[in-house]
């Protein structure tokens, strides 16, 4: 019991430090969650969900990274506002 | 009823209306998203009703999960008794990532509640024709 509470405390009570490059990778599970939820309520058959979710996840992630790269390029070209 | 259950625990409404598989997937995914956010930001600073009101409103839509975090927060000491410094406060960007994860989980739950309310409403009209098709008593209306 003490082990469980200790593990929970270390998992949820203390915040996790997110280093620089790790930030962009945290987009992936969030997009996966959004795509699974959306496709779970859209698809009538549950077995269609994984493939449909994967396609939507890929679309969102590619779109978001392209927007990010575009904004980064605009920042490099025109500088800070 | 299904909408209320969905507000209490995201995904439970789908389970209640008979979509058991969908309900289990939704419960697992939204629970993982919310508590993943809490693991990043920590219990003390992920939900902050004073500093981030709009995000707090979105987080409240997680229902039971948010109430559990608020109850957990109230049990924890906020400051170190020796140094009087704040304990377990997340720093940027962990605090904002945690807020986004938990807030988006709440907004996704709105989608689920709207979906389950619509589906629960669809079930009644389907049952109605079956009742109408039965012959009236005595053979005449």
Residue A49 lies in a domain: yes
For each successive 10 residues of chain B (141 residues), what is the average pLDDT? 88 91 95 94 86 91 92 83 74 87 95 90 56 51 42
Q: Which tens digits make up the pLDDT trace of A18-69? A: 887 888 899 999 999 999 999 999 998 999 999 999 999 999 999 999 999 9
Residue A72 lies in a domain: yes
A17/B89 touch (CB, cutoff 8 Å), yes or no: no
Q: Based on the structure, what is the number of domains in chain A?
A: 1
Based on the number of CB atoms within 10 Å of its own CB, is B11 exposed (0-12), middle (13-18) or buried (19 or more)?
buried
Interface of A with B in 53-72 (CB under 8 A): none
Pseudo-torsion of CA A46, B117, B13, B18, nearest 10°? -50
Give me the domain span that covers residue A39: 23-78
Nearest CA-CA partner of B34 in B54, B13, B14, B63: B63
Residue A46 to chain B, least CA–CA distance (Å): 7
Q: Which of A8, A17, A18 has the most B C-beta neighbours within 10 Å, making it the best mutation to test the interface with B?
A: A18
Residue A46 lies in a domain: yes
Q: Tokens 């409403």 label which residue?
A: B121
Q: What is the ipTM of this complex?
A: 0.85
A41/B115 touch (CB, cutoff 8 Å), yes or no: yes
Q: For chains A and B, what is the number of CB pairs under 8 angstroms?
A: 79
Nearest CA-CA partner of B111 in B26, B53, B18: B26
Q: Which of A14, A21, A40 has the most B C-beta neighbours within 10 Å, making it the best mutation to test the interface with B?
A: A40
Looking at the DSSP bridge assignments, the partners of residue B79 are B86
């Amino acid at each position: 019991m003490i082990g469980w509470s200790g593990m929970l405390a270390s998992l949820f009570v203390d915040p996790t430090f997110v280093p620089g490059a790790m930030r962009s990778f945290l987009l992936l599970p969030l997009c996966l969650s959004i795509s699974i939820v959306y496709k779970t309520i859209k698809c009538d058959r549950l077995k269609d969900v994984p493939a449909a979710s994967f396609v939507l996840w890929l679309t969102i992630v590619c779109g978001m990274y392209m927007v990010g790269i575009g904004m980064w390029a605009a920042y490099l070209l025109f500088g800070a506002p | 009823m299904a909408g209320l259950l969905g507000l209490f625990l995201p995904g439970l409404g789908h389970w209640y209306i008979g979509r058991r598989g969908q309900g289990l997937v939704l419960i697992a995914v939204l629970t993982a998203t919310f508590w993943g956010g809490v693991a990043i930001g920590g219990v003390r600073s992920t939900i902050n009703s004073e500093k981030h009101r709009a995000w707090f409103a979105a987080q409240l839509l997680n229902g039971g999960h948010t109430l559990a975090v608020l109850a957990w927060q109230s049990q924890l000491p906020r400051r170190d008794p020796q140094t009087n410094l704040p304990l377990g406060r997340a720093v940027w960007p962990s605090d904002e990532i945690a807020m986004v994860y938990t807030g988006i989980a709440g907004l996704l739950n709105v989608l689920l509640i709207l979906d389950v309310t619509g589906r629960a409403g669809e079930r009644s009209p389907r049952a109605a024709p079956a009742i109408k098709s039965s012959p009236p008593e005595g053979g005449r209306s």
